[in-house]
């Protein structure tokens, strides 16, 4: 972009620590806001006029705004700077093999914006040159094939909306309520519109030998992260995608190519996909033996627990979004299931004694986040707010007590239990578990 | 291998359905995109090793002694001199008999079911800052050393494509490779589902001081 000679080169430090150049006019506007006693990065930069003052023209109404391509790509309003992916610094040894959480408390729909989609890397985020990236399909196929990104883009396109959830989402709450936050208790789920080619189309193009029963899928990252998948699932609904919400995948989501395995645990949705090999048996890679297996109280472990069972959570109110006095509210939340579609969500405000069925908002899509709401007149007394999803297979979201009865509390993965938020009479909200 | 609840139609039906929907789609090579992968090209990327029987292990070998040297140089900084794990980096050793405990310690010795998987993982992902820099012999040597630290093989053990699949791992038979879920049978009760007197908070995240902040700059909190 050409520099605008009408603008000075003032530089401000934004709340995330990056220096951002600002024009003189916006600098003055910021100054006006700041002297009004409001900090950048708060929920509102709009100064509340006193009740006596007449409606006034706000400063931004008395000037001309920035022109087009002022921000050629675009970015959220500066006052939304707190709405970012966040990590738990004490959780992992390094940031390269770690996870970040989506700010569900500030999201209002079923689609996660690309910059807010949760991250999970095993060897950091590679920055890949798409001109050099290739996908190799070999093993028990008729014609081993090497595909460039150009080749892959020529295949017939498919677009679908699906959630991806890390099976460790909620893992920190297996033993007890630990994370007092919606973002950190549930933020390892996100949902996007994915565009690419059906994996079945690619495998039909190579031809599948009749002995083939499994596929090994592998990434181009430093860990060459790999998993085994049953061939039936590959041919059923898996996608090899290059686009997310209409634009190229973000590097942290697998640019230029990733696998989407609808409804199955996030780890098998291999990012930076470079290789698919068909075989007769599973590989039992480190990520499906040492990790992503569920340790039971009797010392046995469950492997190949790919399915993400039905789960729901109330996103308002939540610890980050308390209530502001008694009155009428809309309880809001998200539900999803690896079994297909959400058929019903019930909400309780008394700790599960009584339940009311919430309204599901269209679109209700298979293996996608589904939004629900329920009006609630809060009387200002302590409440225990929870949601419970039922999916099209008839599966009912369990309580944490029911899960622990079956699996103890050391299984790390697949905690899809009902989340209870404790609302205190001052409107503050806490993550609790019930006896 | 897995429950029928999890998968869709049988392969044959899908192939037939796909073939009926798009002319010639089920014929291999009908699009004609891409290039045939040559054996040499495949060999360059074909690194996977099957855990159960070691299929895919390359030629080469390594001793426990050689492994100790490579380990000291390449691994000890994170995994500890004897595999005990520095800080929050993974322990490689110990935890035998701990899997039913309140705080289980899953390690190569206590948890991993297949020895060839250890070779595969070191070869594909380690050392973390410089992956894919070790020779096959050094990966064999490291595998031998880590198995020896876990008292799974004697100090004179030589790891190679024949010996690794024969190592009996302690936890091999404790894995169930068929998903038993759904393992809960909750019914969606609507009214008077629980006795009000039984609704008690058993655990709260309030005042635990484990949660990073969710406004302002990223938190840098460390364990208390």
Phi, psi of A251 (to 5 degrees): -55, -40
pLDDT of A53: 75
pLDDT (tens digit, 9 = 90+) per residue, B4-13?
A: 444 444 444 4
Phi, psi of A236 (to 5 degrees): -75, -65
The residue of chain B nearest to residue A123, with distances taken between CA atoms, is B128
The closest CB to that of A432, out of B7, B189, B203, belongs to B203
8 A C-beta contact, residue A117 and residue A198: no
Instruction: Give the number of C-alpha atoms closer than 13 A to the C-alpha of residue B120, restricted to the C-beta side.
Output: 31
Query: Percent of chain A, pLDDT > 90?
Result: 87
Question: What would the mean pLDDT of A60-84 be, rounded to a whole number?
Answer: 97
pLDDT of A41: 40
Question: Which of the 8 DSSP states describes residue A96?
Answer: S
Report d(CA A351, CA A333) in Å as an integer: 17
Q: What is the mean pLDDT of chain A?
A: 91
pLDDT of B223: 62
pLDDT of A17: 40
pLDDT (tens digit, 9 = 90+) per residue, B73-101?
A: 999 999 999 999 999 999 999 999 999 99
Phi, psi of B82 (to 5 degrees): -115, 25
Query: Percent of chain A, pLDDT > 70?
Result: 88
Window 25-84 of A, Cβ < 8 Å to B: 41, 82, 84
* In chain B, domain spans: 49-174
Which CATH architecture best describes the domain B49-174?
Orthogonal Bundle (1.10)
Q: In what order do the strands lie in the sheet with A294-295?
A: A294-295, A301-302, B175-176
Q: Does B4 touch chain A (CB under 8 A)?
A: no
pLDDT (tens digit, 9 = 90+) per residue, A150-176?
A: 999 999 999 999 999 999 999 999 999
Question: Which of the 8 DSSP states describes residue A8?
Answer: -
Q: Does B120 touch chain A (CB under 8 A)?
A: yes
Report d(CA A97, CA A51) in Å as an integer: 53
**DSSP assignment of B138-166, as one string?**
HHHHHHHHHHHHTTSS-TT-EEETTTGGG
pLDDT (tens digit, 9 = 90+) per residue, A129-155?
A: 999 999 999 999 999 999 999 999 999
Kindly give the residue spans of alpha helices, DSSP state H, lying in A137-290.
Answer: 149-154, 182-186, 199-206, 231-236
pLDDT of A43: 45
Terminal C-alpha separation, chain A? 60
Question: Taking 50 as the threshold, does the pLDDT of residue A370 lie above it?
Answer: yes
| Domains observed in chain A | 104-302 (3.90.420.10), 311-432 (2.60.40.650)
- Which helix H or strand E contains A30, and what residues bound it? helix A24-35
- Measured from the Cβ of residue A211, the count of other Cβ atoms closer than 10 Å reads 9
Nearby residues of B192 by Cβ (< 8 Å), 6 or more positions away: A353, A354
Contact between A105 and B203 using a beta-carbon 8 Å cutoff: no
pLDDT of A50: 65
Whole-angstrom CA distances from A375 to A189, A345, A349, B224 are 25, 14, 11, 40
Report d(CA A295, CA A408) in Å as an integer: 9
pLDDT (tens digit, 9 = 90+) per residue, B150-180?
A: 999 999 999 999 999 999 999 999 999 999 9
The shortest C-alpha distance from A330 to chain B (Å) reads 20
pLDDT of A8: 38
């Amino acid at each position: 972009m050409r520099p605008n000679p009408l603008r000075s080169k003032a530089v401000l430090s934004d709340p995330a620590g990056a220096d951002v150049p600002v024009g003189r006019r916006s600098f003055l506007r910021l100054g006006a806001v700041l002297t009004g006693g409001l900090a950048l990065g708060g929920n509102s930069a709009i100064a509340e006029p006193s009740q006596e003052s007449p409606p006034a023209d706000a400063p931004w109404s008395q000037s001309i705004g920035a022109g087009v391509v002022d921000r050629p790509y675009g970015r959220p309003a500066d006052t939304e700077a707190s709405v970012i992916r966040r990590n738990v610094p004490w959780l992992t040894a390094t940031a390269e093999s770690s996870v970040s959480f989506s700010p569900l408390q500030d999201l209002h729909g079923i689609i996660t914006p690309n910059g807010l989609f949760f991250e999970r890397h095993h060897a950091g985020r590679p920055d890949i040159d798409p001109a050099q990236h290739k996908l190799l399909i070999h093993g028990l196929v008729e014609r081993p094939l090497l595909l460039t990104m150009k080749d892959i883009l020529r295949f017939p396109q498919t677009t679908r909306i699906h959630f991806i959830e890390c099976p460790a989402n909620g893992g920190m709450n297996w033993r007890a309520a630990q994370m007092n936050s919606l973002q950190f208790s549930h933020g390892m789920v996100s949902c996007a519109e994915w565009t690419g080619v059906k994996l079945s189309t690619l495998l039909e193009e190579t031809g599948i030998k009749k002995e083939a029963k499994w596929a090994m899928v592998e990434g181009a990252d430093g860990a060459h992260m790999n998993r085994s998948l049953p061939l039936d699932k590959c041919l059923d609904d898996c996608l090899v995608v290059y686009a997310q919400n209409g634009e190229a995948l973000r590097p942290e989501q697998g640019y230029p190519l990733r696998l989407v395995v609808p409804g199955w645990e996030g780890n098998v949705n291999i990012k930076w996909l470079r290789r698919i090999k068909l075989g007769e048996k599973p590989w039992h890679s480190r990520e499906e033996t040492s990790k992503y297996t569920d340790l039971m109280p009797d010392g046995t472990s469950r492997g190949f627990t790919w399915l993400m069972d039905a789960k729901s959570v109330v996103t308002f109110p939540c610890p980050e979004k308390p209530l502001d006095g008694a009155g009428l509210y809309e309880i809001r939340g998200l539900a999803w299931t690896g079994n297909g579609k959400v058929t019903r969500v019930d909400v309780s405000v008394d700790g599960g004694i009584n339940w009311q069925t919430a309204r599901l908002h269209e679109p209700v899509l298979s293996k996608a986040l589904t939004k629900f709401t329920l009006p609630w007149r809060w009387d200002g007394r302590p409440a225990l707010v929870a949601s419970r999803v039922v999916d099209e297979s008839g599966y009912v979201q369990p309580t944490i007590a029911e899960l622990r009865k079956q699996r103890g509390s050391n299984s790390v993965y697949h905690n899809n239990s009902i989340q209870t938020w404790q609302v205190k009479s001052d409107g503050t909200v806490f993550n609790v578990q019930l006896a | 291998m897995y429950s029928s609840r999890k998968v869709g139609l049988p392969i044959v039906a899908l192939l037939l359905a796909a073939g009926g929907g798009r002319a010639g789609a089920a014929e291999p090579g009908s699009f004609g995109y891409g290039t045939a992968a040559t054996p040499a090209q495949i060999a360059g990327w074909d690194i996977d090793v099957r855990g159960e029987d070691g299929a895919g292990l390359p030629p080469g070998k390594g001793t426990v002694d050689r492994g100790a040297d490579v380990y000291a140089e390449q691994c000890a900084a994170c995994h500890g001199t004897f595999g005990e794990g520095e800080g929050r980096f993974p322990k490689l050793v110990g935890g035998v008999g701990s899997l039913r405990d309140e705080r289980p310690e899953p390690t190569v010795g206590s948890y991993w079911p297949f020895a060839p998987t250890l070779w595969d993982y070191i070869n594909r992902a380690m050392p973390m800052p410089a992956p894919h820099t070790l020779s096959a012999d050094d990966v064999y040597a490291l595998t031998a050393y880590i198995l020896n630290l876990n008292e799974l093989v004697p100090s004179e053990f030589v790891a190679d494509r024949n010996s690794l699949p024969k190592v009996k791992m302690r936890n091999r038979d404790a894995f169930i490779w068929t998903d038993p879920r759904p393992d809960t049978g909750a019914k969606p009760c609507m009214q008077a589902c629980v006795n009000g007197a039984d609704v008690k908070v058993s655990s709260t995240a309030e005042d635990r001081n484990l949660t990073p902040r969710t406004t302002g700059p990223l938190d840098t909190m460390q364990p208390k």
